Amino acid sequence: MTTADRTAATEPALRRVIGPKLLLFFVIGDILGTGIYALTGKVAGEVGGAAWLSFALSFAVALFTASSYVELVGKYPRAAGAALYAHRAFGIPFLTFLVAFAVMSSGLTSASAAARAFGGDYLAEFVALPSTLVAIAFVVALALINFRGVSESVKTNVVLTCVELSGLLIVIAIGFIALSRGTGDPGQVLEFKEGANPVTAVVSGAALAFFAMVGFEDSVNMAEETKDPQRAFPRALFLGITVTGIVYILVAACSTMLVPIPVLERSSGPLLEVVKAGAPGFPLQLFALVALFAVSNSALINLLMASRLVYGMARERIIPGVFGAVHPLRRTPRVAILFTTLLAIGLIVFGDIRELGGTTALLLLGVFTLVNAAVLVLRRDKVEHEHYRAPTVLPVLGVLTCAYLASPLSGRDPEQYVLAAVLLGIGVLLWAVNLLFLRGRRRFAPEKITGPTPPEKTG
């Protein structure tokens, strides 16, 4: 028995306190966030009035991948993630490291996109300030909160989710009321961008819209604290994705029916434009406050996740150990927080919302391709307990669709590949430095690098 195995055997198990309803709210809260609040207009710019089709396609791809996660979490009901599944399936430490670093990088690009959204049109309802400087100051403030230490109960996620969801339901209600009064153009939801091939446009939009659907994969970190995970996870994950998918499709449809596409595309707060057009008397600052809350929560949790992943990789000695340094008083990973904050600031300076959101989707689509493939490979690994088994066609479709949306064939902006390559290149450099100059490496244990169970991570 290895040291890691002996430690696992002697440590107490996590307490199973999360029931089906709490888990469902956690999944919904995981997905809600920056993506729909900030990128609806950018997707509409790619597709036209039929932007809802791109959200529908990303919803379908998310369901394929969710089926793989449900099978894996039922088969291995522990707080783990994509890195552990890739390691079990392929047994290549460097590949496992790249998966973990890609997940970490996606957290940084997502947080940076949220910071950009925070400094944009939603904040402008209260005060006009330079958006880039606000975004940087916003990330620094979150880093200080991260450094101080954040302790939250999963039950708080119910409140947070309700607040974020309320903003989207307001948009849908405004859309339906406005249309019933003859405002807007319902026919626009079937129109495509002038001169664009409809299929190509929808796929290109879905490559970006997928950013709004990410986050559900983090629910696997709740496995060890969930009552009867084999039963609870299939229902919670599929229902949670379905609820958010339907809400997103309705929000996208209402947006393009009420607001001209060029106005949506230019705005960093597109849903604010919907409220202005559909309900001029609605208090805009109230809606802007809800939106600011949504993107703030998204950014904080993503930065928490990213810093803890860097800390975990350092503790496992797969990147230089200095990144595992902990502040003696705050007991938070100070170097990992500094490192991830500096990377986030760099991303804010050199990337816009569209590029950062698209890069987040690109990184996770690559990870999801491997997770879907891992399900098929791990079918040979039998376990004694019963668990959900996805119809084989679903992970196969997951591999094909995720790989396609991550490829240049989807019409993805080349700058997203450059940004993803730079981030992964930094990871490879850290791996190489550790490999060449450090000694005493322990057995690679990817279950240790998935980070803590976050209270909520949004896309």
User: Rounded to two decimals, what is the model's pTM?
Assistant: 0.86
Mean pLDDT of the region 129-144:
92
For residues 85 and 368, what is the distance between their CA atoms, to the nearest angstrom? 11
Token pair belonging to 129? 């300030």
Token pair belonging to 196? 């664009």
Token pair belonging to 356? 């950062």
pLDDT of residue 230: 72
Q: Which helix (H) or strand (E) holds 84?
A: helix 82-90
Which of 55, 61, 65 shows the shortest CA–CA distance to 246? 55
Q: How many C-beta atoms lie closer than 10 Å to residue 207's C-beta? A: 29
Token pair belonging to 287? 């809606």
Token pair belonging to 44? 């509409």
Mean pLDDT of the region 352-358:
92
- Judge whether 269 and 117 are in contact, CB under 8 Å: yes
- Coil/strand/helix, residue 18: strand
Which has more pLDDT, 254 or 232?
254
Which has more pLDDT, 182 or 6?
182
Q: Which helix (H) or strand (E) holds 35?
A: helix 34-47
DSSP lists the bridge partners of residue 284 as: none
Residue 234 pLDDT class (50, 70, 90 cuts): confident
pLDDT of residue 112: 94
296-329 tens-digit pLDDT: 878 887 888 888 888 888 887 788 888 888 877 7
Residues 6+ apart with CB under 8 A from 34: 110, 113, 114, 117, 211, 294, 295, 298, 299, 357, 458, 459
Q: How many C-beta atoms lie closer than 10 Å to residue 22's C-beta? A: 20
DSSP lists the bridge partners of residue 18 as: 226
Single-letter code of the amino acid located at 38: A
* Dihedral in degrees, nearest 10, Cα atoms 325, 331, 332, 334: -40
Residue 227 pLDDT class (50, 70, 90 cuts): confident
| Helix residue ranges, H only, 316-413 | 334-350, 353-377, 393-406
16-31 tens-digit pLDDT: 656 777 778 778 877 8
Q: How many C-beta atoms lie closer than 10 Å to residue 293's C-beta? A: 16
Mean pLDDT of the region 83-102:
90
Mean pLDDT of the region 428-447:
70
- Eight-class DSSP state of 135: H
Which of 210, 163, 229, 224 shows the shortest CA–CA distance to 28? 163
* The most confident of 66-75, 123-132, 434-443, by mean pLDDT: 123-132
Single-letter code of the amino acid located at 136: I
Which of 419, 323, 312, 384 shows the shortest CA–CA distance to 83? 312
Domains, the chain, ordered by start: 17-380+387-448 (1.20.1740.10)
- Judge whether 252 and 44 are in contact, CB under 8 Å: yes
DSSP 41-60: HHHHHHH-TTHHHHHHHHHH
End-to-end CA distance of the chain: 39
* Residue with the two structure tokens 């990870």: 367
For residues 332 and 320, what is the distance between their CA atoms, to the nearest angstrom? 17
- Calculate Rg over the CA atoms of the chain: 21
- Judge whether 111 and 344 are in contact, CB under 8 Å: yes
pLDDT of residue 3: 42
DSSP 412-423: --HHHHHHHHHH
* Residue with the two structure tokens 């430095």: 433
Helices 34-47 & 93-118, crossing angle to 10 degrees?
90
For residues 385 and 363, what is the distance between their CA atoms, to the nearest angstrom? 33
Which has more pLDDT, 212 or 233?
212
Q: How many helices (H) and strands (E) does the chain have?
A: 18, 0
Token pair belonging to 390? 């996805």
